[in-house]
Amino acid sequence: MTSHDIEVMRVGAAQILRFNRPVKKNALTGPMYAALADALEQGERDSRLAVHVFLGSGGVFTAGNDIGEFLASSSDDGTTLMSVLRFINLLPRIEKPMIAGVEGLAVGVGATLLFHCDMVLATSDARFQTPFVDLGLVPEAGSSLLMPQRLGYARAFEMLVLGHVMSAERMREAGLVNAIVEAAELEAAVLKVATALAAKPPEALRLARALMRGDTKAVSRRVEEEAEIFAQRLRSPEAREAFQAFLEKRPPEFKRG
Ligand code: COA
């Protein structure tokens, strides 16, 4: 599956996956998830490829899942959700390093995918947000496990439940972001890391990464548990109201009791 909203490029031994739908802040649609999953799978099979790189465009990483598609997916045949799940299920199974260069907004899956990356470089204006609960949803992509592990429970709760926006500096202090770089330098800095990784002995790199990741089955299990609840929540009155409100550019009104 290809989608022109995902640009797939090779630079040396790096595969660049670029979110490229700037008019919608690079919000991800079913075909975009399918294109990402295809590229990751092909890249994993290609022995010439050393590293996967995620980048945004138009000064934004990604505003997360397309909310219009969330709303439609609560009544469609499930095709969109299948593409989302295929991509998300793949993340803990990737064996080659993944690096991200984050400029501007990284929302929803744009933030949770970073917890599967090996290195994250960000600009000082990068903003990280996971407003799942505000949307009537639950955390996804293993974030209910990985974020408390990486950030500590309190910071993870602040992000995953309160939906607080985190700055690049806060994420650097918390250990998610390796370095903050100028926007004009971001892609060159990310490619420099990719080139350094590509120069490593491939088998030693693979084994070292696998040892550092440990048993990823627990992450995969959590991704599946989350996905089951997430799929139910998509159809909930709370989520539908939150999606409608976003699309109608008004505050949501949630019923209590
Ligand atoms: N899904 C669908 N469309 C989205 C989107 C998303 N996740 N994020 C942004 N867009 C669209 C907006 O609806 C708008 O479309 P329009 O020009 O047709 O009205 C366009 O992208 C520009 O977004 P806008 O909201 O005007 O930009 P902003 O700079 O004021 O705000 C965000 C940017 C990302 C803070 C805001 O758009 C937002 O909160 N988006 C939703 C993020 C989200 O909750 N994602 C899901 C996480 S699970």
Residue 241 CB neighbours (<10 A): 16
Reading the chain (257 residues) residue by residue, the pLDDT tens digits are 557 899 999 999 999 999 999 999 999 999 999 999 999 999 999 999 999 999 999 999 999 999 999 999 877 778 888 999 999 999 999 999 999 999 999 999 999 999 999 999 999 999 999 999 999 999 999 999 999 999 999 999 999 999 999 999 999 999 999 999 999 999 999 999 999 999 999 999 999 999 999 999 999 999 999 999 999 999 999 999 999 999 999 999 998 87
CA-nearest residue, atom 34 of ligand 1: 63
Give yes or no for residue 84 CB within 6 A of ligand 1.
no
Three-class SS of 122-161: ECCCCEEECCCHHHCCCCCCCHHHHHHHHHCHHHHHHHHC
CA of 42 to the centre of ligand 1 (A): 30
Residue 94 contacts by C-beta under 8 Å, 6 or more apart in sequence?
40, 44, 52, 116
Q: What confidence tens digit (pLDDT) does each residue in 163-175 have?
A: 999 999 999 999 9
- Position of tokens 């990280």? 128
C-beta separation of 230 from 140 below 8 A: yes
CA of 246 to the centre of ligand 1 (A): 8
List C-alpha distances in Å: 223 to 58, 72, 138.
Answer: 30, 22, 11
Give yes or no for residue 66 CB within 6 A of ligand 1.
yes
Give yes or no for residue 97 CB within 6 A of ligand 1.
no
Report the chain's terminal Cα–Cα distance, integer Å: 44
How many CA within 13 A on the CB side of residue 257?
0
Q: Nearest CA to 233 among 115, 73, 84, 33?
A: 73
Backbone phi, psi, residue 36, to 5°: -65, -45
CA of 200 to the centre of ligand 1 (A): 40
Q: Nearest CA to 57 among 246, 227, 202, 183?
A: 183
Give yes or no for residue 146 CB within 6 A of ligand 1.
no
pTM score, two decimals?
Answer: 0.96
CA of 63 to the centre of ligand 1 (A): 6
